[in-house]
Structure 1
């Protein structure tokens, strides 16, 4: 006969107690694991957020550079060349300073020619190849001055290389370090000119063109300037000023395209590949300005005979 007594309940109670303890242990371990996961998750979010903030900061600093001083000799946003093809030198403007427009000759004795160019602009190339030589003759003889304004309207039309911007920066580098060679470099930029939509010249190609155009002074400085893109912020600012206007010493409200050629403040809208037509316009503008003054005449522009 089997005797059943109170001692038979002990194994069952012990098992329940053990089960309860194991369940509690599992719950405690799960809670610890959940806390660790929450800590890791929060840490990961913080680290990820910091990384995103850092990336945004790098992008902002890289793409929005503070506007630094402009190049020397371009206080008007252009480089002015006078008699004997000598540059009118100016100091570099401080970042907060406004450009100082060139005062035109009001006596009518010297013709004021201003040209706004983009080095990727094919029409600019046509104008320079057609008229560059006779402009140099007029300026050399003291009959005219020429002021060249490099701007960058076609920056986004060079397969992502920002050639217009880099080219205008290179021109500013030459103006800053070797100004009397600027006119030759400006003309060289239109020789074998890259086509719109192409990648344009590399920075190394631009430096090679600097040397090829006859610039020998301060080449190391010009190299650093081109490599560092020292005047890119200035080019952007000068371009913005040109396209928002007003255009100094003219009736134009803004520069709407390149080339924009002004003669004594009047825009030339004639043929870009006929030197006689441009010469006639210059003579007419010079005559109209002179007729309103009583100055003693000096050499006036004359058409360059067709070769």
Structure 2
């Protein structure tokens, strides 16, 4: 075989090897994508299954039926919304930001009676902040009434610390927020610093647990768990649409 023939044979062999390698890489890429899709399907399916299971286990509740929350709107409104929440939960913060304006408007229009029920879900994982915040909320509710407590509730979410640094919300900052909401510093400082309503938080948490609440935020619309939405914004928008 001439040198030119040998060179051509080597070039052809190299081309065949490159083509085979490309086919293997394409196969591997397809299998990888298929594997990811399968895993995502399992995750989504599992999430849906868990959500449906929780939905079946949650006990019906209507706004105004608990001692451990604050309400807005008219109790004779045609719809009732209950929102179980933890002041540290970032999704609760997102829901609050996405839904507050609509819920306040709908409550003012007499279309819905809303109750916010804070409790402690996250302290075992992230420290005392959920207890401190819920205790401060209960203290403000007791000392200054529901209107001020609702404003304080809103301010806690507007200034929500991260799960990575919950202690960024100091006692002094919490007192400032309570005063900004309309509470008297003399009424709330000592109680905030000593977590005076820890028992209230324990009872609120027990009530939520007994009701089958295992995650936050959990929304009950007319006594039934409301889960219509792929994102928190979808959830807020679809809830408002149901109430209009």
- TM-score with structure 1 setting the length: 0.53
Give the secondary structure class of the aligned counterpart of 1:148. Answer: strand
When Rg is computed on C-alpha atoms for both structures, the one with the higher figure is 1
Deviation at 1:278, TM superposition (A): 2.1
- Contact 1:74–1:175 (8 Å) recurs in 2: no
When residues 74 and 145 of structure 1 are mapped into structure 2, their CA distance, relative to the original with a 3 A threshold, is: closer
Residue deviations 1:162-185 (CA, integer Å, cap 9, x gap): 001000001111111122112221
Q: Would the aligned equivalents of 1:165 and 1:235 in 2 still touch at CA under 8 Å?
A: yes
Deviation, 1:260, is 0.7
For structure 1, which segment, 227-236 or 191-200, has the greater mean C-alpha deviation from structure 2 after superposition? 191-200
Higher relative CO (CA 8 A, sep ≥ 6), structure 1 or 2? 2
Instruction: Name whichever structure is richer in helix by fraction.
Output: 2
Structure 2 partner of 1:225: 191
Select 2:156's aligned residue among 189, 196, 199.
189
The answer as to 2:175 corresponding to 1:207 is yes
Shift of 1:75: 5.4
Q: Give the conservation status (yes or no) of the 8 Å contact 2:72–2:104.
A: no
Partner residue, 1:272: 232
Deviations 1:119-176 (A, max 9, x none): 1100000100000111011111221111111101111333x4x001000001111111
List, as ranges, runs of 4+ consecutive aligned residues in structure 1 with deviation greater than 6 Å: none
Task: Work out the number of aligned pairs and report it.
Answer: 176
Structure 2 SS opposite 1:223:
helix
RMSD, matched Cα: 2.1
SS of residue paired to 1:147? strand
Distance 1:276 1:155 in 2: 30
CA contact (8 A) 2:138 2:200 kept: no
Shift in CA distance, 230/75, structure 1 to aligned 2, threshold 3 Å: farther
Deviations 1:92-132 (A, max 9, x none): xxxxxxxxxxxx75xxx521111111011000001000001
Q: Kindly tell me: are residues 166 and 74 of structure 1, through their superposed partners in 2, closer, same or farther at Cα, counting changes over 3 Å?
A: farther
Gaps of 5+ in 1: 1-72, 84-103, 248-253, 284-300, 303-307
- The offset of 1:204, in angstroms, is 1.4
Change (3 A) 1:128 1:170: same
Deviation of the 1:196 alpha carbon: 1.1
Query: Distance between the aligned counterparts of 1:218 and 1:146, measured in 2?
Result: 26
Deviation at 1:235, TM superposition (A): 0.3
